[in-house]
């Protein structure tokens, strides 16, 4: 099943909040190695979500991961 634009935006918002929380922990130096790795994974997922939204509106696709 293909996701709706609302679902994509919702997932992007949740993903951004997770990234913000983990980056805050890293900046305060109270993080684990797993949490630092999770930031990379979430950033990759964030790019995929942004690309899906851009595709929905026939916009430019980002290639960074």
What are the pLDDT tens digits along the chain (65 aa)?
689 999 999 999 999 999 999 999 999 999 999 999 999 999 999 999 999 999 999 988 877 65
pTM exceeding the 0.85 threshold for the entire prediction: yes
pLDDT attached to residue 1: 64
Q: Which residues, including other chains, have CB under 8 Å from residue 37's CB and lie 6 or more apart?
A: none
Q: Which residues, including other chains, have CB under 8 Å from residue 61's CB and lie 6 or more apart?
A: 51, 54, 55
pLDDT attached to residue 65: 59
């Amino acid at each position: 099943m293909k996701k709706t634009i609302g679902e994509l935006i919702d997932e992007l918002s949740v993903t951004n909040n997770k990234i913000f929380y983990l980056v805050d922990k890293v900046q305060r130096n109270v993080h684990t190695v797993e949490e630092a790795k999770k930031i990379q994974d979430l950033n990759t997922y964030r790019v995929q979500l942004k690309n899906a939204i851009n595709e929905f509106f026939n916009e430019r696709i980002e290639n960074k991961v």
